[in-house]
Chains A and B, each alone.
Chain A
């Protein structure tokens, strides 16, 4: 077992033990919010970090997942396991619709196209009142409940079951990222990120791989969006807001794009740093913007990249002394 897997298992063990020691629902709630952010950041990381396509419409997929789950649960009373899957599926479907034409575009054109698609989807969520109930959103999304063929199902009525479900989603996302990074597909992603033309010239079907990354990202964003709609019992066009995309982009960039640890570190920082530093509510986004800006100028490979750099330099220094 590698050190990396061991660290991962240890961290998940710790996270799983938290609810046993923490009774305060506020802390559990913060933990759930953090895990939603982690999954969102990791889902964007497939697109932004691995194949390096600058998607600026990611929040739209999170919102589509949420709306799908809300509409199916409220209007058709479908069980939550089905609405969660449907949220992920429909979001992936939109990923296909958006990705298929856009991923043929290069660089800034792709970013602008996703920005436009995101804006259109938000307009639809706001204006298609018959289905989405318009700008006020849809309250009363029922809580998640597990079916029980022999009696009453188990309804998620406290934070604790949500906490564990979120943890399962985080574990799933991390596992996919980890497996992918060490696979042929993952190496193809990185090759595309480094140099599309070169990747194409050695026989990598770049469009296909970009599509895989985009679908993976949108499906996971839809899943966690659906989860959050059930958890908060609410969905509104705000879930598709560009600022949410920006939050996700910030998490991926300040943590370190194209790594497993980076987006997690980024999500932790974005979730907790304003609390720890007691940044006033109205300056919170200013603060994120500044952090993002400083990170781009001084640490373009993020915190994980910075740590690796320092570690690498130490290593080099040690070897230098030995020689």
Chain B
């Protein structure tokens, strides 16, 4: 019993760090550009497929690197082609929201037309030969996932807290017009934001793919998980996204181990709805003014 608990905690923390990566991307695009990106799940899916294609030629780790470069391009395209035309005039939440929904349909079905509906297995040299630490089973892939997620999270936090561009991003998040008046190139900030957001989503996809299968529809679930986490942690809140990711990962793993594996996914949605109803600012968020 205790062993099962500990093992599920470990599994939960690994998945949780992936959820945190997914949620970080969503939360910066909301916090900085006021866009709830409904195509975020498809960015995750593309990251996994890019890695799959590149890994077939160059191996897994170089494949992940190539996929990250691809995601930079996708993020920039998303911003330039879809979101920039919507930024004219009054910033409405609704237009980008619907537009990203449309992008999600387009990407999902393009992937479907290219790769077909069947799942692919992305093989990673780290996914086999589990190591046993204190009686708990972990694969090297799990360690890689946790390590890369941790590193990416730390780098992002440093970048936003300390860097010159991070300062610009925070300024735009606070007040876009004043930031523009202060001479910040806000278009550049948006491009940077979506490139980063896409890289984070793609990285999550590339890391999880060897543990799960890759198919054109994995993004749907990824989006829902990411949104649940973002809601748990508070929209636009970076530490919240990290904490929320770990909370969701652990509660799902414990739920699957002790309650019901079939309804594992419902736990996340139920948590999300409860937080929405009782604490919409998120578990770590400051009390909001009623918006």
Chain A, interface size: which category? 35 or more
- From B101, B104, B265, give the contact of A123 (CB < 8 A): B265
Q: How far is the CA of A292 from the CA of B103 in the complex (A)?
A: 9
Report A114-147 residues with CB < 8 Å from chain B CB: 115-117, 119-120, 123-124, 127
Q: How far is the CA of A113 from the CA of B291 in the complex (A)?
A: 17
| 0/1 string, A153-175, CB within 8 A of B gives 1 | 00000000000000000000000
The one of B86, B106, B110, B227 in contact with A112, judged by C-beta atoms closer than 8 angstroms, is B227
Whether the pair A113, B265 counts as a contact (CB closer than 8 A) is no
CB distance B109 to A54 under 8 Å? no
Greatest chain B CB density within 10 A among A101, A102, A296 is at A296
Q: Do B263 and A123 have beta carbons less than 8 Å apart?
A: yes
> Is A198 on the interface with B (CB-CB < 8 A)?
no
Q: Which residues on the B side are within 8 Å of A282 (C-beta)?
A: 109, 112-113
Among A112, A124, A296, point to the contact of B98 (Cβ < 8 A): A296
Are the CB atoms of B231 and A112 closer together than 8 Å? yes
Number of A-B contacts (CB under 8 A): 109
Interface size range on B against A? 35 or more
Q: Enumerate B54-103 residues with CB–CB distance to A below 8 Å.
A: 82, 85-86, 93-95, 97-99, 101-103
A296 touching B102 in the complex, CB below 8 Å, given contacts A105-B280, A112-B272, A242-B220: yes
**Contact segment of A178-186, A217-225, A283-291:** A283-291
A120 touches which of B98, B110, B269, B291 (Cβ 8 Å): B269
B262 interface residue (CB < 8 Å to A):
yes
Say yes or no: is B138 at the interface (Cβ < 8 Å to chain A): no
Give A289 to B273 CA distance when docked, in angstroms.
28
Chain A residues contacting B132 (CB-CB under 8 Å) are: none
A9 within 8 A of B: no
Residues of B within 8 A of A104 (CB): 277
Known: A108-B97, A289-B103, A292-B98. A116 touches B86 (CB 8 A): no
Q: How far is the CB of B49 from chain A (nearest CB, A)?
A: 16
B224/A116 in contact, CB under 8 A: yes
Query: How many Å lie between the Cα of A101 and that of B275 in the bound state?
Result: 12
0/1 interface trace, chain A 93-108, chain B, CB 8 Å (1 if under): 0000000011011111
Q: Does A22 contact B (CB under 8 A)?
A: no
Chain A residues 236-285 with CB under 8 Å of chain B are: 242-243, 246, 249-250, 253, 282-285
- Complex formed: what's the CA distance from A243 to B108 in Å? 11
Which residues from chain A contact B167 at a C-beta distance below 8 Å? none
> A297 at interface (Cβ–Cβ under 8 A)?
yes
Q: A123-B263, A289-B102 are in contact. Are A108 and B93 (CB under 8 A)?
A: yes
| B109:A285 contact, CB within 8 angstroms | yes
Per the bound structure, the CA–CA distance linking A17 and B235 in Å amounts to 54
Residues 118-141 of chain B, each 1 if its beta carbon lies under 8 Å from chain A, else 0: 000000000000000000000000
Interface residues of B in 249-287 (CB under 8 A from A): 262-263, 265-266, 269-270, 272-273, 276-277, 280
Q: Is A300 an interface residue (CB 8 A)?
A: yes
A residues in contact with B228, CB < 8 Å? 116
Interface status of A109 (Cβ within 8 A of chain B): yes
Chain A residue numbers with a CB within 8 Å of B263 are 123, 127
Partner of B95, one of A123, A284, A300: A300
A242 to B106, CA, bound (A): 14
Question: Taking A101-B277, A107-B93, A296-B99 as contacts, is the C-beta distance between A288 and B105 under 8 angstroms?
Answer: yes
B220 cross-chain contacts in A, Cβ below 8 A: 242
A289 to B101, CA, bound (A): 8
Nearest Cβ on chain B to A106's Cβ, whole angstroms: 6
Identify A113's interface contact among B106, B262, B273, CB under 8 A. Answer: B273
In the bound complex, CA of A124 to CA of B104 (Å): 25
Q: Within A197-252, which residues are at the interface with B (CB < 8 Å)?
A: 242-243, 246, 249-250
Q: How far is the CB of A268 from chain B (nearest CB, A)?
A: 19
Q: Is the CB of B273 within 8 A of A293?
A: no
Tell yes or no: B36 within 8 A of A by CB: yes
Q: Which residues of chain A come closer than 8 Å to B82, judged between CB atoms?
A: 293, 297
CB distance from A238 to the nearest CB of B (A): 13
Give B141-189 interface residues, CB cut-off 8 Å to A. none
A242 to B102 alpha-carbon distance, docked (Å): 12
Contact present for A293 and B109 (CB under 8 Å): no
How near does chain A come to B89, taking the closest CB pair, in angstroms? 11
Q: Is the CB of B98 within 8 A of A285?
A: no
Q: Is the CB of B276 within 8 A of A293?
A: no
The answer to whether A111 has its CB under 8 Å from any CB of chain B is yes
- Expressed in whole angstroms, the Cα–Cα distance for A105 and B274 within the complex equals 12
B108 adjacent to A297 (CB under 8 Å): no
Residue in contact with A249 in the complex, picked from B36, B98, B112, B231, CB distance below 8 Å: B98
B residues near A288, Cβ cutoff 8 Å: 105
In chain B, positions 182-230 with a C-beta closer than 8 Å to chain A are 220, 224, 227-228
Q: Which residues of B contact A249 (CB under 8 A)?
A: 98, 101
Q: Which A positions have Cβ atoms within 8 angstroms of B?
A: 54, 101-102, 104-109, 111-113, 115-117, 119-120, 123-124, 127, 242-243, 246, 249-250, 253, 282-286, 288-290, 292-293, 296-297, 300
25 example contacts (A-B, Cβ-Cβ < 8 A) are as follows A102-B276, A104-B277, A108-B97, A109-B231, A112-B227, A112-B276, A113-B273, A116-B224, A116-B273, A116-B276, A117-B269, A120-B270, A120-B273, A127-B262, A243-B105, A249-B101, A282-B112, A286-B113, A290-B102, A293-B99, A293-B102, A296-B86, A297-B82, A297-B86, A300-B95
